[in-house]
């Protein structure tokens, strides 16, 4: 719970932590011991009685769902902070370390009405809340907070202004708000700081990836990477695009370089492991690869909690390559249990059933993936469509329905021609090995652009 509080608030003094711990019947000695252990492990830093997460870990911990506070815990702590403020009279000196968390609590609880708290609100408070809501995947609220921050532009530095627009752009992209996103880009172009160009390129690449336009996304992200000289956010996004395009050599090279800088990032670890599995001819040899085994163990620790199933999905990849039907089914089932809304989990489940020749169940998983993308109020993602087209094509190849693959491959081509070409080559291999009779029109289509 301590990490959850420090994830939610930028920094916290000892006093409200002690009061909140007391509400949960946690003694001062136990709290001090826990904080001391987090400091020893270099997870938490302390400065003038103020505790905060060590910066390199902050982004990773903010994205890790297992450290989320429940809404009840969050509301109780916010209330505790606000009550703590009531103990200070007009002549008292309010601790500086209490101002930011108390102000954020007041904003979140709708108690920042005109008065002394209202006077303490800064654009940075809204930007921080936008960031926190974004990482918790509440994109509408994140956009609301950036809108409030941008109403205070006259109080911002240009860097702060750019950061507010960055989260506005990320949220608009997630929500598919094309017009609003274009407006954010125009506003970024008017900011006169060097980093503005790389942010613009990154956002354009990010939105292109969400639309499934992988070639466009890679182009923008490569430009952003050159402009920002190795930004971790940009390069992590680029790895995800390279994986989707099945450019495993480039994904491996970039993820390996990133791991030298961000040891425990689940997304980077997952990119590295996916690439190694795909590029290893004899996947059984990986059990003797010390580096791979170490990274896989790391991924299990940081990438398989609530909301993430990276480790399970990579175990499915290995099982399928080894032809281990039992493990493929077992780990794909676990991935779906962990993350019932994750499209990749349905893809893994379909592939596991295909390996076991359980075609009806494989088709059911493909249909479940399609239904997932059609749910109301679900954030639309072009990558989900690419996954659907690809796995449905794999199903039709495996079951000998070759001519049905044509529509899905043509659909993939509208997003990413190079990925469509790879699928068509895969189809040619299946058709050739089975020596199936085909219509003349299909034969001509199959030969084109291969």
Residue 317 CA from chain centroid, whole number: 20
User: For residues 184 and 203, what is the distance between their CA atoms, to the nearest angstrom?
Assistant: 10
Decide if 99 contacts 74 (C-beta within 8 A): no
Residue 447 pLDDT: 83
Residue 324 pLDDT: 96
How many Cα atoms within 13 Å fall on the side-chain side of residue 186? 6
Rg (CA), the chain: 25
- Domains of the chain by start residue, with CATH: 1-88+95-120 (1.10.10)
* Of 333, 383, 388, 325, nearest in space to 357 by CA: 325
How many Cα atoms within 13 Å fall on the side-chain side of residue 393? 27
Region of 421 on the Ramachandran plot (φ > 0 left; ψ -120 to 50 alpha; else beta): alpha
Hey, is 44 helix, strand or coil?
strand
Region of 120 on the Ramachandran plot (φ > 0 left; ψ -120 to 50 alpha; else beta): alpha
* Token digits of residue 207: 């939105």
Instruction: Provide CB contacts within 8 A for 49, sequence distance 6+.
Output: 13, 14, 97
User: For residues 59 and 256, what is the distance between their CA atoms, to the nearest angstrom?
Assistant: 19
* Token digits of residue 85: 């403020």
Instruction: Provide CB contacts within 8 A for 393, sequence distance 6+.
Output: 405, 408, 409, 412, 423, 427
Residue 103 pLDDT: 60
Decide if 362 contacts 350 (C-beta within 8 A): yes
Decide if 397 contacts 425 (C-beta within 8 A): no
By CB atoms closer than 10 A (0-12, 13-18, 19+), residue 213 is buried
User: For residues 409 and 389, what is the distance between their CA atoms, to the nearest angstrom?
Assistant: 7
* Of 108, 124, 210, 208, nearest in space to 167 by CA: 124
Find the helix or strand (DSSP H, E) in which 55 lies: helix 55-63
Q: What is the pLDDT along the chain (450 residues), one digit of tens a residue?
A: 667 666 666 667 666 676 667 666 777 677 677 777 777 777 777 766 677 777 656 666 666 666 666 667 666 666 666 565 555 544 444 454 455 555 665 556 554 544 444 445 567 778 878 888 888 788 999 999 899 889 888 878 888 899 999 999 999 999 999 999 999 999 999 998 888 999 999 999 999 999 999 999 999 999 999 998 778 889 999 999 999 999 999 999 999 999 988 877 888 999 999 999 999 999 999 989 999 999 999 999 887 766 679 999 999 999 999 999 999 999 999 999 988 888 999 999 999 999 999 999 999 999 999 998 777 555 667 888 899 999 999 999 999 999 999 999 999 999 889 899 999 999 998 888 886 778 889 988 988 876
Q: Strands 44-47, 50-53: parallel, antiparallel or unpaired by DSSP? A: antiparallel
Hey, is 53 helix, strand or coil?
strand
14-23 helix and 96-108 helix, angle to the nearest 10 degrees:
50
Residue 450 pLDDT: 61
For 353, phi and psi rounded to 5 degrees? -70, -35
Residue 356 pLDDT: 96
Residue 116 pLDDT: 44
Q: How many residues does the chain have?
A: 450
User: For residues 78 and 106, what is the distance between their CA atoms, to the nearest angstrom?
Assistant: 8
DSSP class per residue in 208-256: HHHTT-HHHHHHHHHHHHHHHTS-HHHHHHHHHHHHHTT-HHHHHHHHH
* Of 87, 89, 77, 151, nearest in space to 121 by CA: 151
């Amino acid at each position: 719970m301590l990490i959850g509080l420090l994830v939610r608030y930028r920094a916290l003094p000892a006093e409200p932590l002690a009061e909140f711990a007391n509400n949960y019947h946690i003694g001062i000695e136990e709290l001090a011991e826990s904080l001391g252990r987090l400091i020893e492990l270099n997870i938490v830093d302390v400065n003038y009685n103020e505790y905060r997460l060590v910066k390199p870990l902050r982004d990773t911990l903010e994205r890790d769902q297992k450290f989320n506070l429940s809404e009840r815990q969050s509301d109780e702590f916010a209330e505790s902070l606000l009550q703590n403020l009531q103990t200070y009279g007009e002549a008292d000196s309010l601790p500086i370390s209490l101002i930011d968390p108390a102000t954020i609590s007041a904003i979140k609880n709708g108690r920042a009405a005109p008065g002394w708290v209202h006077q303490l609100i800064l654009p940075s408070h809204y930007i921080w809340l936008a960031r926190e809501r974004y990482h918790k995947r509440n994109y509408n609220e994140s956009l609301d907070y950036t809108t409030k921050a941008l109403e205070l532009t006259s109080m911002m530095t240009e860097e702060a202004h750019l950061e507010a627009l960055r989260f506005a752009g990320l949220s608009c992209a997630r929500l598919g708000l094309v017009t609003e996103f274009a407006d954010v880009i125009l506003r970024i172009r008017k900011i006169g700081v060097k980093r503005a160009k790389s942010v613009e390129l990154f956002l354009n690449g990010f939105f292109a990836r969400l639309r499934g336009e992988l070639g466009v996304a890679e182009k923008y992200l490569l430009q952003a990477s050159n402009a920002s000289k190795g930004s971790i956010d940009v390069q992590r996004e680029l790895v995800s695009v390279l994986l989707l395009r099945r450019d495993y050599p480039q994904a491996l090279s970039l993820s390996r370089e990133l791991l030298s800088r961000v040891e425990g990032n689940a997304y980077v670890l997952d990119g590295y492991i996916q690439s190694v599995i795909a590029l290893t001819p004899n996947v059984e040899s990986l059990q003797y690869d010390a580096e791979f085994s170490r990274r896989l163990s790391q991924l299990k620790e940081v990438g398989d909690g609530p909301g993430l199933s990276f480790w399970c999905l990579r175990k499915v990849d290995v099982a399928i390559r080894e032809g281990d039907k039992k493990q493929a089914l077992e780990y794909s089932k676990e991935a779906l249990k962990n993350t019932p809304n994750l499209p990749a989990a349905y893809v893994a489940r379909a592939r596991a059933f295909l390996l076991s020749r359980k075609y009806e169940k494989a088709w059911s998983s493909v249909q479940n993936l399609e239904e997932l993308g059609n749910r109301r109020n679900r954030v639309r993602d072009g990558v989900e469509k690419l996954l659907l087209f690809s796995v449905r094509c794999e199903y039709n190849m495996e079951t000998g329905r070759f001519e049905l693959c044509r529509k899905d491959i043509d659909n993939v081509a509208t997003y990413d021609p190079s990925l469509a070409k790879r699928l068509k080559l895969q189809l040619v291999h299946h058709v050739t090995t089975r020596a199936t009779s085909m219509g003349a029109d299909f034969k001509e289509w199959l030969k084109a652009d291969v």
